[in-house]
């Protein structure tokens, strides 16, 4: 494997995300590589009067004020996580994208010239895996660079 200069770590900004980011940071630091933290946003939407943090569909609409507030909140969380890791002496950049998670992750890896993707998997199986799918699994199948997965449970 060639020298690793940039490690991409997609984070959903949940409590579990910090574990993957910490592991990716430790790896990047040991390699002298840059860490790129990526969050892929879903638009907040209203479907039948219920607020959702999911992409809009034909039965929902997005209020521009909510979408802007959501973007600012996700950007703030991503910046805080990046600053926490920078305080450890690591070169960290952040990227906020919209889109389908697995497509945005592989696209960011290509556009940002990442050498490795480090991401967590929730370890779903059975019906929940069948119904929810796996972003990590899709990234593993479609990424042009190696993907290191960290199982969380």
Position 64 in a domain: yes
Q: What CATH number should be reported for the domain holding residue 105?
A: 3.40.50.620
DSSP state of 137: H
pLDDT of residue 135: 87
Position 1 in a domain: no
- Using CB atoms within 10 A of its CB, is residue 45 exposed (0-12), middle (13-18) or buried (19+)? buried
pLDDT (tens digit per residue) in 67-76: 788 889 999 9
What pTM does this model have? 0.80
Question: Is the predicted pLDDT of residue 18 greater than 70, yes or no?
Answer: yes
Domain count, the chain: 1
Position 41 in a domain: yes
Query: Which domain range does residue 23 map to?
Result: 6-151
Position 81 in a domain: yes
pLDDT of residue 43: 52
For residue 48, name the pLDDT band (cuts at 50, 70, 90). very low
Q: Which runs of consecutive H residues, i.e. helices, occur in 32-125?
A: 64-86, 101-111
Position 36 in a domain: yes
* C-alpha separations of 102 from 6, 13, 19, 153 in Å: 19, 16, 20, 21
pLDDT (tens digit per residue) in 112-138: 999 999 998 765 565 555 544 588 889
Q: Vertex 75, ends 51 and 8: CA angle to 5°? A: 110
Out of 16-25, 54-63, 91-100, 133-142, least confident range: 54-63
- Phi, psi (deg, nearest 5) at residue 45: -145, 165
pLDDT (tens digit per residue) in 61-111: 555 667 788 889 999 999 999 999 999 999 999 999 999 999 999 999 999
Residue 56 CA, distance from chain mean position: 19
């Amino acid at each position: 494997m060639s020298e690793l200069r940039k490690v991409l770590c997609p984070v959903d900004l949940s409590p579990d995300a910090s574990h993957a980011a910490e592991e990716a940071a430790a790896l990047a630091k040991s390699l002298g590589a840059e860490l790129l933290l990526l969050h892929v946003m879903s638009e907040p939407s209203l479907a039948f009067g219920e607020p959702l943090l999911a992409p809009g569909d034909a039965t929902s609409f997005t209020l521009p004020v909510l979408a802007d507030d959501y973007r600012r909140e996700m950007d703030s969380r991503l910046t805080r996580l990046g600053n926490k890791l920078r305080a450890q002496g690591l070169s960290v950049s952040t990227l906020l994208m919209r889109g389908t998670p697995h497509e945005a992750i592989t696209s960011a890896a290509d556009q940002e010239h990442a050498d490795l993707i480090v991401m967590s998997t929730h370890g779903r199986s059975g019906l929940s895996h069948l119904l929810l799918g796996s972003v990590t699994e899709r990234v593993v199948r479609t990424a042009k660079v190696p993907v290191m997965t960290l199982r969380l449970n």
